[in-house]
Chain A
Amino acid sequence: MTVKVEKIEGGIPHTTIMIAGLIASLVFLYLTYANVIMGTEYFAFFGGLATVAALIWGSHTIKHLCSYGIGTGVPSAGMIAFGSGVIAMLFATKYGIAAPIVAVVLAAVIGLILGYLANNVLNMRIPVMIQSLVEMAIIGALVLMGYAAMMTGSFELTSLTTGNVQILGLSLPSYQASFLGGALIATAFMLGAIAIQHPFNACLGPNWTQDRMLMLAAECGFLSMITAAIMSMPLISMSAALVSLFVAIIGWYYTYAKYIELSKRDAAAWLESKPIPDVEGH
C-alpha cells in the first residue's frame, strides 16, 4: 500500500467540493436545454460554466489522488479522465434530455472498472484510486458534454453531427462542418485534459494552498471557455457565440487577477530585477 505523503489541511473538504461540482455542473448543463425549449442559442454559454464547475472539482480530485506520491502522474490523470469520459459522453448523447444523467452513470461504471483494474489487477493499491477514477471519468464526460453544448447549442447527438455549409448563399447541412465531423471534439479533449491537470501540477509543492489552486482551476476553465467560444462561431449564431465569449473573458480576467493576487500572498518575495538572495549555508 502506498503511503500518503501529503495531507490536505484545513480548507473545504473534498466531499463538499465533489457534491457542489457535480450539482453545479449538471444544473448548468440542463440550463443549456433552455435553447431547445425557447428555440434560441443564447444559453449555450451555460455549457462553458458547466465545464468550469467540473474542472474545479476535477483539480481537487487530482490533488486528492496525487497526494499519494504520484508526482509524474499528474498530466496522465487528466488524460485518463477524458479518455474514459469521452466514451460515456458520446454514448449518452443518444438519450436526448436524459443525456447528462446517463453520462454520469455510464462514466461512473467505466471509472469503476478502470479503478478495479488499476488497484486489483495492476496492484497499485492506492486507497482512493477507485473513487478518484470514478470521479475523473464523470468529470471528463461532463466537461466534454459542456463543450459540446457550448459549441453546438445542445447536447444531443443530432446537433453534434450536423453543421451548416454556405454554398453560393445557400445553407446546406453537412457532417463535415459539425462538432464531431470536424473533430472539434479532439480540441475539446485536449482543452479539458490540460486544464484539469494544470492547477495541481502548477501549484504542487510544500506551500500548496487550496484557495490558490481552485482559483487557478477556475482560471483554466474560463481560459478554455474563451477558445471554445471562438470555435463555436461557425456552429451557432454569431451573437450567441459572442455572448459566450463575453462571459468567458469576464470570468477569465477576474480569476486571473485573483490568482496573481493569491500568488503574491503566498510567494516568499515578489521581486523586480533583483539578484539571487543569500541563503544560509550556500
Chain B
Amino acid sequence: MESIVFGIGITALAGALATVAGAAENTESDIGSQGDPNSQVQLAPQMGYIHRIFNKAVAGEPPAYGLWIALGAGIAWAFMAMQINPILAIVLGSGIAVFVQGVYATTAYLGRTASLAKFGQPVYVDILKSMTTVTMAHAFVAIFATVTLCHLINAALGHPFPLPLLGIVWGIALGAAGSATGNPFYGKERQYQNQKFGAGVPIAASGNIVRYAEAGERNSLDNGWFSAKLGGPASGVCFGLIVFLELWRTVLFEEIGAGWGAIIIGIIIILVFTVIDRYIEVWARKNYGPYTKPAEEASS
C-alpha cells in the first residue's frame, strides 16, 4: 500500500513537471516559428512580404526535442555516473543541451534568411540576439522539467530504461504534444488575424502573414506573448495528461494479470478520450461552423 501511495505521489509530481514542460516547449517553438507555422514564415518573403519574425527551423518539433531531451539526459547520466549529485547533474545537462539548442537556432535563422537573399529578406541581428536568448530560456525550462521527470521515472519508479533512452522517448512525446496541440494557436490563428475567422487560408493569402503589431512591427516575442496565453497551457495540459495517465495506469494496475491490467486500462483510457474528442468536435461544429457560403441577397 505504501509503495502505491509513493508511486501516486511521484506520478502527480511527474505530471506537474510535464505540464510546465509542455507550456514552455510550445512557447519556445512558437517564438522560433518551428513546426507547421514555419512554412508560412518561410514563404512570406517569397510572396513579397518581408517580415521581422524569427525563423529557426531546426527540424520538426518531435525530432528537435528528441535531441534536446536525449542530450540533456545523456549528459546528466554521464555526470551522475561520475558521482555528481542528480540535481546538479540535471541542471548541468540541461544547460549544455540549451547551449546546443541556441547554436542550432542561430545557424537555422542565418541559413534560412541568407538563402532568401533573392527576395530581399535581410538578416536582422537584433532579432537574432533577442529571440534566441528567449527561446533558450524557455527551452531550459522544458528540458530541465522533462529530464527531471525521466529521472523520477527511472530512479523513483524503477523503470528499467536508462536515462538517455527515456529522454529520447519522452522528448519525442513532448515535441509531438506541443506540435499537435499548441501550433494551431499560432499557425492557424495568430499568423492570419487579418483573415476572416474560420475561413482557412486561401491560396491568394498564402504568405500574407500579419507583420505589424499593436505598436510598430510584429516580432516573435509578440507571438510568444500570444501563444503563452492559450497555446502553451493547452500543450502543457496535453503533455501533463499523457505523462500522468501513463504513469498512473502503470503504478496502479501493473500488478493485475501480470501486466495485462495496465494494458487494458490503457485501452479503456484511449476509448474514453475518443468519445470525449468526438463529443467536443460535434459540439464545436454545431456552434461555430462549418464555414458556410454567405446567404444570397433577397433582391437578386
A and B: partners?
A: yes
Chain A positions near chain B (C-beta within 8 angstroms): 74-75, 78-79, 163, 165-166, 176-177, 181-184, 186-187, 189-191, 193-194, 197-199, 201-208, 212-213, 216, 219-220, 223-224, 227, 230-235, 256, 259-260, 262-264, 266-277, 279, 281-282
How far does the Cβ of B60 sit from chain A's closest Cβ, in whole Å? 6
Contact yes or no, A282 B115, CB < 8 A: no
Chain B positions near chain A (C-beta within 8 angstroms): 48-52, 57-60, 63-64, 66-67, 70-71, 73-75, 77-79, 81-83, 96-97, 100, 103-104, 107-108, 110-126, 161-165, 167-168, 171, 211, 217
Chain A residues within 8 Å of B51, by CB: 276
Separation of A113 and B92 alpha carbons in the complex (Å): 42
Separation of A274 and B81 alpha carbons in the complex (Å): 49
Which residue on B lies nearest to A230, using beta carbons?
B75
Contact yes or no, B50 A279, CB < 8 A: yes
Q: Provided the pairs A182-B81, A216-B107 are in contact, do residues A194 and B63 lie with their beta carbons within 8 angstroms?
A: yes
Chain A residues within 8 Å of B114, by CB: 203, 207, 212, 262-263, 266-267
How far does the Cβ of A57 sit from chain B's closest Cβ, in whole Å? 19
Contact yes or no, A191 B110, CB < 8 A: no
* Majority-rule SS of B interface residues: helix
Q: Provided the pairs A182-B164, A189-B168, A227-B71 are in contact, do residues A259 and B118 lie with their beta carbons within 8 angstroms?
A: no
How far does the Cβ of B54 sit from chain A's closest Cβ, in whole Å? 13
The 3 closest A-B pairs by CB, nearest first: A205-B115, A187-B74, A202-B111
Chain B residues within 8 Å of A78, by CB: 59, 63
Chain B residues within 8 Å of A259, by CB: 107, 110
Which residue on B lies nearest to A241, using beta carbons?
B78
Contact yes or no, B126 A197, CB < 8 A: no
Contact yes or no, B122 A190, CB < 8 A: no
- Which of A186, A204, A277 is in CB contact (< 8 Å) with B120? A277
Chain A residues within 8 Å of B52, by CB: 275-276
Contact yes or no, B164 A206, CB < 8 A: no
Contact yes or no, A256 B217, CB < 8 A: no
Q: Provided the pairs A184-B164, A187-B74, A190-B66 are in contact, do residues A271 and B125 lie with their beta carbons within 8 angstroms?
A: yes
Most buried by B among A230, A260, A263: A263
Chain A residues within 8 Å of B115, by CB: 203-208, 266
Chain A residues within 8 Å of B117, by CB: 207, 266-268
Contact yes or no, B71 A191, CB < 8 A: yes
Chain B residues within 8 Å of A260, by CB: 110
Chain B residues within 8 Å of A271, by CB: 122-125
Q: Provided the pairs A203-B115, A270-B122 are in contact, do residues A186 and B110 lie with their beta carbons within 8 angstroms?
A: no
Separation of A223 and B108 alpha carbons in the complex (Å): 14
Separation of A281 and B46 alpha carbons in the complex (Å): 13
Contact yes or no, A181 B122, CB < 8 A: no
- Which of B60, B70, B104, B119 is in CB contact (< 8 Å) with A187? B70
Which residue on A lies nearest to B103, using beta carbons?
A223
Which residue on B lies nearest to A266, using beta carbons?
B114
How far does the Cβ of A72 sit from chain B's closest Cβ, in whole Å? 8
Contact yes or no, A269 B123, CB < 8 A: yes
Which residue on A lies nearest to B46, using beta carbons?
A206
Q: Provided the pairs A230-B78, A267-B117, A270-B122 are in contact, do residues A187 and B73 lie with their beta carbons within 8 angstroms?
A: yes
Chain A residues within 8 Å of B110, by CB: 202, 259-260, 263, 267
Chain A residues within 8 Å of B124, by CB: 271-274
Chain A residues within 8 Å of B77, by CB: 182-184, 231
Contact yes or no, B48 A197, CB < 8 A: no
Which residue on A lies nearest to B49, using beta carbons?
A282
Q: Provided the pairs A197-B59, A234-B78 are in contact, do residues A190 and B123 lie with their beta carbons within 8 angstroms?
A: no
- Which of A183, A212, A272, A277 is in CB contact (< 8 Å) with B164? A183
Chain B residues within 8 Å of A202, by CB: 57-58, 107-108, 110-112
Contact yes or no, A230 B118, CB < 8 A: no
Separation of A190 and B75 alpha carbons in the complex (Å): 13
How far does the Cβ of A187 sit from chain B's closest Cβ, in whole Å? 3
Contact yes or no, A201 B59, CB < 8 A: yes
Chain B residues within 8 Å of A189, by CB: 70, 168
How far does the Cβ of A280 sit from chain B's closest Cβ, in whole Å? 8
- Which of A198, A205, A279 is in CB contact (< 8 Å) with B58? A198
What are 25 A-B pairs with beta-carbon distances under 8 A?
A75-B63, A78-B63, A176-B162, A182-B163, A183-B161, A186-B164, A187-B71, A187-B168, A189-B70, A190-B171, A194-B104, A202-B107, A203-B111, A206-B116, A216-B111, A234-B78, A256-B107, A263-B114, A264-B123, A268-B116, A268-B119, A268-B121, A270-B123, A270-B125, A275-B52
Which residue on B lies nearest to A203, using beta carbons?
B111
